[in-house]
A and B are shown apart, each in its own frame.
Chain A
Amino acid sequence: MTRDHHRSPLESADDRIVAGRAADGDTAAFAALVRRYTPMMRAYARRILPGTAEVDDVVQEAFITAWDQLPALDDLGRVKSWLMRITSRKAIDRIRATRAHADVTELELPAPEQTAPPRRAEARAGIAALSDALQQLPDAQRECWVLREIGDYSYEEIADELDIPVSTVRGLLARARRDIIVRMEQWR
């Protein structure tokens, strides 16, 4: 497989064209999608599953699923948000697997202290403050907040995915927002 991908027009073509080729079976086009969206998908998965070694596995699984399901994607221009959605589903699968025997009270345990922040390159203080606030949230609050605010999930979708009542999702989100705001205001 020799491909001069760095000069390839595929790298500069828009999502709809590249995803259309990949949907039709062109692996070079799929590779272009992998190169284009791996950083975003890793970043998103890392926000859902911070401090784990599973991020690369999640993104890899997401791409394998994406390849299988691309032919059924009607609006190819939406491939970016569609890949985000697949990524969070794969990340949630990990959460569900590790929490198969946990109950909701355990979900409320505070987050373990992070030994190292996942990101160091935030240029702006506000982004750094938000990043820091997120890392200090308990897992369940952080997951709800990331799915809602970054993944654009509805409350009902979060409830379905995490297998908890919508009322619990609303409560977790309210607490997450309050804690993030309070921490960020202290930063200002």
Chain B
Amino acid sequence: MSEHDAPDPRSLGMEPEDLDGHTIEELADYLDRGRSPADPSIEQSAGCRIALDALERLRVLTPELLAADTAAEPPPEESWVQDILAGIALDARAGRRIPIAAPAPNTDLGITEGAVRGLIRAAEHTVPGVLVGRCRLDGDVTVPGEPVRVRVDVSVPYGEPIPDLVQRLREEISRRLTAHTTLDVTGIDITVHDVRRQSSPAEEDR
């Protein structure tokens, strides 16, 4: 047949009379329920089982279709990435205003939460390979003297002792917060969420 002919469902047994009174819709719902509880009127119907097999094959193929489509897309051009970055609102991440205890009266100093997060992220530069993820300041940072706990997610490179990396990062974060803020930091909780394998195939078998 030519590919644009409308298929005739009856010839392939997809109509209710071929499915012992069941419909494709019912069978799809039945599959969604994991064929449980088992329905004998479906399971004992040869027509239904043929249709269920076809629906299951389709279900397995679907994620493969998206994967194949994705693989067929070219990697994005750098100009595309930059166009998107040019369109995003950078001021949206300032967060809370954190007062800084001023040495002289009648002055009002502050730093944004976003800037403090930036300071914390930048601590990673002293511990090569470590990458800081989300960073949270727990506590009322808008009130001077209130206790504040810092929580950060990190990614570390494979093959280096994690306690050592984490300790170095914690010390650097502490040093930076002391140098640039007057926050009363009661603790810095670091959670390693990701250990990155370097993707160098030559090293795979060592």
A residues whose Cβ falls under 8 Å from a Cβ of B: 1, 9-10, 12-14, 16-21, 23-27, 30-31, 34-35, 38-40, 42-44, 46-47, 56, 60, 63-64, 67-68, 71, 76, 113, 118-124, 126-127, 130-132, 136, 149-150, 170-171, 173-174, 177-186
Contacts and interface: CB of A to CB of B under 8 A. Distances in A.
Given A127-B64, A184-B54, A185-B12, 10 more contacts: A16-B134, A24-B93, A46-B69, A68-B88, A76-B133, A122-B65, A124-B68, A174-B23, A177-B24, A184-B57
Contacts of A40: 66, 70, 73
Contacts, number: 198
A24 B135 contact: yes
B118 A177 contact: no
Contacts of B169: none
B24 to A, nearest CB: 5
A122 to B, nearest CB: 5
B73 A39 contact: yes
Interface residues of B, number: 64
B28 A17 contact: no
Interface in B159-206: 193-194, 196-199
Nearest to B66: A150
20 contacts: A1-B82, A9-B196, A12-B197, A17-B131, A17-B153, A18-B133, A21-B121, A30-B85, A30-B88, A31-B85, A35-B81, A60-B87, A71-B93, A121-B68, A124-B68, A130-B65, A181-B24, A181-B58, A184-B57, A186-B1
A49 B3 CA distance: 21
Nearest to A175: B24
Interface string B35-54: 00000000000000001001
Given A24-B117, A40-B70, A63-B84, A182 B157 contact: no
B4 interface: yes
B134 A174 contact: no
A64 B124 CA distance: 27
A119 B88 contact: no
Contacts of B80: 34, 38, 56
Given A60-B84, A149-B62, A170-B25, A21 B133 contact: yes
A173 to B, nearest CB: 7
A27 B88 contact: yes
Contacts of B135: 20, 24
A10 to B, nearest CB: 7
B155 interface: yes
Contacts of B74: 39
